Each structure stands twice: as structure tokens, then as C-alpha cells.
Amino acid sequence: MKNKKGWHSILLIGLVVLLASPMVACGEQVPPSSPTIGLNLSSLSFSAEEGGANPASKTLSISNSGGATLDWWVSDDADWLSLSPTSGTNTGEIEEVTVSVDIMDMNAGNYTANSAISASGASNNPQTIIVDLSIVEIPPETLSVHFIDVGQGDAILIDHGTYEMLIDGGRWGDCADYIPSYVDGVLEVMVATHPDADHIGGLSNVLDAFDVKDIWVNGDTASTQTYIDFMAKVNAEGAEVHQAQRGDQISLSTLTFDVLHPTLPLGSDINENSIVLGLSFGQVDFLFTGDVENGAEASMVAAGLIDDIDILKVAHHGSKYSSTASFLNASQPEIAIYSAGANNSYGHPAPETITRLCDIGATIYGTDVHGTILVTTNGTTYNVHPSNAVPPVVCSITHNLTISSTSGGNVTTPGEGTFGPYDHGTVVNLTATPDANYTFINWTTANMSEIANATAASTTVTVDENKTVTANFAEVTTATLEGHVSYLSRGTNNSRWAQPFLVRAFEPGNLTNELWNGTATTNNTGVFTMSGLTPGTYDIGIKNWTALSELATSVTLSAGNTTVVNFGTTREGDSNGDDVVVILDFSLLAGAFLTTPASPNWNANCDFDRNGAVVIVDFSLLAGNFLQAGPLQGY
């Protein structure tokens, strides 16, 4: 009975629904309603850091609450905004669109863009999404390095935001008194470069005053009470203790310190076993060297670990056994900072060390002169802040200059021998003068870049160390001929212009034995020059394209010298100027003299009236290289 009653109820409800529905004729289709764009959001917001990564994409849902198909597409009005996909067809399901922004090359600020979702025939067309983008400026990261004045000792505090590292602590309590203003609670890293009291003595006070997370030591031990007290404090601290060796890295926040020294096993010299750390902060490089000396420096250079740096903590308080020339040449520091006590008994810094630092052009500061020295940097530039207004250490350094020469000349300015002392960087004038039959070759010295022009006899040299300079000469094995010619053409006296000549040198008194020949061209004053000639005594004759010039006899050409020969005056076709030309050999006449204008060898210079015929009226008008009397016949 319960089942039958339930069946009647269902039938009744269905009848009511049927009666309430509009009547549709048989076969007639119900028209669909217009599509409607449905969005789950009307706005989106993004935020990012200037110069940082793009923010994560977000999702927009598109739906169709109408009865027809929704053919949709998107558009936006900003280059930094993109939606994907950009179009679709929706028949009622929900479709997702990814909304992304690209902040590359965009500055900090607030940006707004509109994205429209449109559809064909939509009842609510278009729908707009507002996209807001906020790009915030991140303050540049900064680093502060404090070279603390602890008297005769070392203490360096590295402060990076809320993270700090202390490298050594001096002998007494100066360091513990200085750092509380900069250490934010916990001291993240402590480095004891080696067990000497002037480096670890003050660290015991720091361990009393601060919680320390990590302690790095070099692995050396000592029997001093200072070392025993320090290690007792270290063991009681509960910090992680590490023995540093080459290749290790020490982290401080986002900073990474490279351990460049020591190597294992340790040597017998405590100073040489000091921990050396390198730090690159952006484009600014630091090198912290403890008390290493020449052996450790040479080891790091040989291993290729030392490169150009900006800030150097000068090793071992400026000892003369540290900061070798090879180490400084490899590191090339712009700023050198040593830590030493005023008027200390060790003589630190050593004058030799200051000289070597000056030689590489470093700007030098010291805690004995400038007190605590602060270096600040943003990773691109840096600034040095001494505690007082005392200028950097003055490089009052002098050098000697030794000058010599090879045989064949001498140095006339300033002379030869040893000169000086000169202040560092002095520019000295040099002049070399060769002897007869010698020529200057060049200047030589250990560093050729310090000579302005090594191949110039007069030049300069920069004296930045004790230096030896040599002037080099060589014997000249060739001679130079300078010929002077006056040229008369067709009755025009003293006519001079550039003329080509054949120059022939004969055995004196024997014109049948030609020893050498060459070509030369006079300038507009009738002068020609030939160099590189073999020295000796010759009879020399010259001829040009229309005339044979004079013969100069017994001309001596000497090595290294220029011999001037006046070949006199020559006439076209009449070498001796008597207006008579004797035809000795008609076969020597050129075809150009007896021809017609149609001939390819026509020479207008041989037909002076331009009538196409040559009448020999005055033989002196014929070219002398074809007609010549006297000893040069046939020349």
C-alpha cells in the first residue's frame, strides 16, 4: 500500500508540471536564450619587486549562463599584460584563462590595465576585468666592513644587514667595546685566523658578551695562556667549530667567503698558517690576509687564487716579510689597509712594504694613523671613511735611474751613469746621439711600457722603481746620394720641375763597367735623393726621358752620410750646350721622330709645329738620349 500511494504522488506532480509548461506544437523547436558571459572575478591584483622575477600567474574562470553557445575572445590595453588562451567556445562548462604579467624593464610604481572579455551575441557584452600591478623598489643591498683600531693587533667586523662576522679580535677588550653598536643580537660567525695573542686575545671578551653560532679556526695550537683561555671560552660557547682549509666556503646571510689558505697539513710557522678569506660583494672584491708572509702569498699566487681586488687588508700589520711584489702585482689592490699600533716596537708598517704598495698605485690607510677605518659599498662603488680627517699615507718614495749605451753613440740627456734619487713617478727626458756612421735603434729597459717611445732618439721614461735604461746603436752600412739638376728645355732657361732620371754608377774612368743603377725623380727644385746605396767611389751619370745630363766623376759615397752632387745644367738634346748634336748612330733614333700622326707611337713632342712631319733643322732639338757626342756615346 505504501508503494502505491507513492506512485500516485509522483504521477500527480508530473501532471502539474506538464500543465504548467507552455504548449509546443508537435515538431516545433524551442529557441535558445542569448549567451551570457559569466566571470568569477571582476579584478585581479599583482605585486612584484623592481628588477625581480615576474609574479605568479592567476586564473580567471569564464562560464556561460545562457542557453546558446558562447564564442568568446579577450583583449587588453597593456604590453605587460597577457591572457591565454585568447579565445574559446563555451556551451555551458567553465573555462579557465591564465592571466600573466611581465615586469621586465619596468620601473617601480603602480600600473592599471583593462582586459575585455567579449562574445558574439552575448547579453552582457563585453565584460571588463581590471588588472592592478604594483612594483615596489627594493633598497640596494649594502655592506659595511670595519677595520677596528685595536692597537697592535687585528680585528675586522663585517656587517651585512642583521648578519655579522668578526675576523680576529685584537689583544684586549677594544673589539668587544666597539661591536655592540653593530651586532644585532647573535654574532653569526667568528674567525680566529691564527692563535697569536694580538688576534685572539680580544675574542674571549666577545665570547663573554655575545652568543656565537659558528667559529672557524686554522687548526694551530699554542701553549700560551691567551690561547688556553680562548679555547676554554670556545668549548663553553656551544658553537659549531670548524677548521678552515683551502677550498672551504663560509656563509654569512647571502655572502660567501672563499677560504684561500691554509692548506693541509699545516706548516710550522703559525703566521704562515693564517686563514685568508676572499669576498666578492657585487663588483667589489675584498681580501683578508691575517698574518701570512711571503711563502703563503707565493702559494696562493701559484694556485691562481689571487686576482685583481679592490680592498686589501695588508698582511701581518705591514711586515716587510709580507705583501711581496709578486703578490701585489697579482692582486693590484686599489685600497690597502693595515692594522698596527702607533709607535709600535715592531716597526710596522715596514718602509719596504709601503714602498711596494706605492709602486702598484694603492691608496694606503692605517689604523695607527686613521683610527678605525670603515669601508661601505653597495656592490658597485665603495667609500672609505677614516675616523679622522688625516689624508692617506703619502708615498714619499725615491728611485735611482741608471743609463748606459751600446757602442756607436751616447746618451746626451741626462748623460750616462746613475742619476737620482727621483721621486716616485718622475718623468725624465732622454736623448741619444749616434756617432758618425752609426744610427740610433731603440731604448730598452725591464718594463718597456714606461718609455714613451722606445724607437725615438728623444723620449721620456717614468721612474717608478730603481731602473736601468740602455740606448742601442747600430753601424750604418749604406750611403745616400743627393743629386741637384738644372734643366733647360727648348731654349727656356732655368726651367725646373719633377723629372724622372736613370742613375748609373760606373767604375771610375771605365764607363763600360756599370756597378749599379737605379731610378730617381727630382722634386720641383731639381733635387733627387737615393738612399741605401753601397759605399764607394764612382763615376755617376744621369739621364731622363728626353735628355742626357752630365757625368760626375770620382764621387765618393760614405756609409751613414749623404753625398751631394751637382750635375749641372742639361739641355734637351744638347748635353754640352753648344747647340750642335752629332749623329753617331742613326739606329739609336726612336721611331717617334720619323712617323705620322696615325702611328700608335706618335709623340707630339717631336713635331713642334704639329704638321705631322719632322724636318731636322736643328739637331739640338732631338732627344739627347738618342744622340750624344763624346765619351758617353750610346748612353
Q: What is the pLDDT of residue 498?
A: 62
Classify residue 23: in a domain, yes or no: no
On whether both 463 and 360 belong to a single domain, the answer is no
Check: CB of residue 465 under 8 Å from CB of residue 432: no
Res 596 pLDDT > 60: no
**What whole-number percentage of the chain has pLDDT above 90?**
57
Q: What is the pLDDT of residue 474?
A: 92
Q: What is the pLDDT of residue 21?
A: 39
Q: What is the pLDDT of residue 29?
A: 46
Average of per-residue pLDDT across 171-188: 95
Res 622 pLDDT > 50: no
581 — pLDDT class (breaks 50, 70, 90): very low
On whether both 326 and 416 belong to a single domain, the answer is no
Classify residue 86: in a domain, yes or no: yes
Which residue pairs, CB below 8 angstroms and at least 24 apart, start in 53-59? 54/100, 54/101, 54/102, 54/103, 54/104, 55/101, 55/103, 57/98, 57/99, 57/100, 58/98, 58/99, 59/96, 59/97, 59/98, 59/99
Q: What is the pLDDT of residue 32?
A: 58
Q: What is the pLDDT of residue 183?
A: 96
Q: What is the pLDDT of residue 75?
A: 87
Classify residue 24: in a domain, yes or no: no
On whether both 158 and 96 belong to a single domain, the answer is no
CATH (domain of 51): 2.60.40.10
Classify residue 535: in a domain, yes or no: yes
Classify residue 344: in a domain, yes or no: yes
65 — pLDDT class (breaks 50, 70, 90): confident
Classify residue 3: in a domain, yes or no: no
Res 485 pLDDT > 50: yes
On whether both 180 and 286 belong to a single domain, the answer is yes
Q: Domain boundary residue among 385, 408, 433?
A: 385
CATH (domain of 157): 3.60.15.10
- In residues, how long is the chain? 635
Range of weakest confidence among 131-135, 327-331, 435-439 = 435-439
Identity of the highest mean pLDDT range in 319-328, 354-363, 420-429:
319-328
Count of structural domains within the chain: 4
On whether both 120 and 229 belong to a single domain, the answer is no
Mind listing the pLDDT tens digit for each residue in 80-121?
Answer: 999 999 988 877 778 899 999 999 989 999 999 999 988 888
On whether both 100 and 156 belong to a single domain, the answer is no
Mind listing the pLDDT tens digit for each residue in 263-280?
Answer: 999 999 999 999 999 999
Name 513's Cβ contacts closer than 8 Å, sequence gap at least 6. Answer: 506, 507
CATH (domain of 492): 2.60.40.1120
Res 429 pLDDT > 90: yes
Q: What is the pLDDT of residue 591?
A: 40
H or E segment to which residue 564 belongs:
strand 562-571
Check: CB of residue 559 under 8 Å from CB of residue 437: yes
Cα–Cα nearest to 318, from 298, 336, 345 = 336
On whether both 439 and 344 belong to a single domain, the answer is no
On whether both 601 and 626 belong to a single domain, the answer is yes
Res 3 pLDDT > 80: no
On whether both 315 and 406 belong to a single domain, the answer is no
On whether both 107 and 224 belong to a single domain, the answer is no
Could you give the CA distance from residue 419 to residue 421 in angstroms, rounded to a whole number?
7
Domain membership of residue 97 as a residue range: 37-136
Q: What is the pLDDT of residue 487?
A: 61
Could you give the CA distance from residue 300 to residue 279 in angstroms, rounded to a whole number?
15
Q: Is the dihedral of CA 394, 398, 399, 403 positive or negative?
A: positive
Classify residue 8: in a domain, yes or no: no
On whether both 246 and 313 belong to a single domain, the answer is yes
Res 220 pLDDT > 50: yes
Q: Domain boundary residue among 423, 443, 474?
A: 474
Q: What is the pLDDT of residue 552?
A: 86
Q: Domain boundary residue among 385, 414, 442?
A: 385
Could you give the CA distance from residue 489 to residue 484 in angstroms, rounded to a whole number?
17
On whether both 349 and 439 belong to a single domain, the answer is no
DSSP-assigned letters across all residues of 348-376: PSPHHHHHHHHHTT-EEEEHHHHSSEEEE
Res 168 pLDDT > 60: yes
User: Pseudo-torsion of CA 407, 409, 413, 415, nearest 10°?
Assistant: 40
Which residue pairs, CB below 8 angstroms and at least 24 apart, start in 253-258? 253/160, 253/161, 253/162, 253/163, 253/188, 254/141, 254/160, 255/143, 255/158, 255/160, 255/163, 255/279, 255/281, 257/165
Res 140 pLDDT > 70: yes
Could you give the CA distance from residue 222 to residue 499 in angstroms, rounded to a whole number?
94
Classify residue 213: in a domain, yes or no: yes
Name 55's Cβ contacts closer than 8 Å, sequence gap at least 6. Answer: 46, 47, 48, 101, 103
Q: What is the pLDDT of residue 593?
A: 42
**In the Cβ-directed half-sphere of 511, how many Cα atoms lie within 13 Å?**
12
